[in-house]
Amino acid sequence: DVVMTQSPLSLPVTLGQPASIACRSSQSLVHSDGNTYLNWFQQRPGQSPRRLIYKVSNRDSGVPDRFSGSGSGTDFTLKISRVEAEDVGVYYCMQGTHWPWTFGQGTKVEIK
């Protein structure tokens, strides 16, 4: 199975400051169809996961533009340009290129 490794696992951030989460896969996530199926999810306390980003850098409808995704191959990043209070939660990367689809361990974002 493809192992997804996130860092850091805990990220205390000051309101208004940027935050960055890294996700590395144990093998390339480039699919034979040419797409890279790397997703980012946000799970706020007490809620189910919500998709933020799909195919590395495509933001879902309704997701604030302070969230952005980048990367290629095996290395990916989720950036929050200016953290707001509502961004508190756990963030997961997930690869959908190789079955079984697999998730990272999660990064807990909290306000300092």
Partner 1 sequence: EVQLVESGGGLVQPGGSLRLSCAASGFTFSYFWMTWVRQAPGKRLELVALMNRGGSEKYYVDSVKGRFTISRDNDKNSLYLQMSSLRAEDTAVYYCARGGAPGTTDFWGQGTLVTVSS
Minimum CB–partner distance for residue 94 and partner 1 (Å): 7
The Cα–Cα gap between 15 and 111 comes to 7
Minimum CB–partner distance for residue 74 and partner 1 (Å): 16
Find all residues with CB under 8 Å of 32, minimum gap 6, and list them.
none
Of the candidates 25, 27, 23, the residue with the CA atom closest to the CA atom of residue 7? 23
Find all residues with CB under 8 Å of 34, minimum gap 6, and list them.
none
Residue placing its CB nearer to partner 1 in the complex, 77 or 102: 102
Q: Which residues 18-47 are close enough to bind partner 1 by CB under 8 A?
A: 31, 33, 35, 37, 39
Q: Which of 28, 68, 77, 102 binds partner 1 (CB under 8 A)?
A: 102
Neighbours of 47 (CB within 10 A): 9
Which residues of this chain interact with partner 1, rule CB under 8 A?
31, 33, 35, 37, 39, 48-51, 54-55, 60, 92, 94-97, 99-106
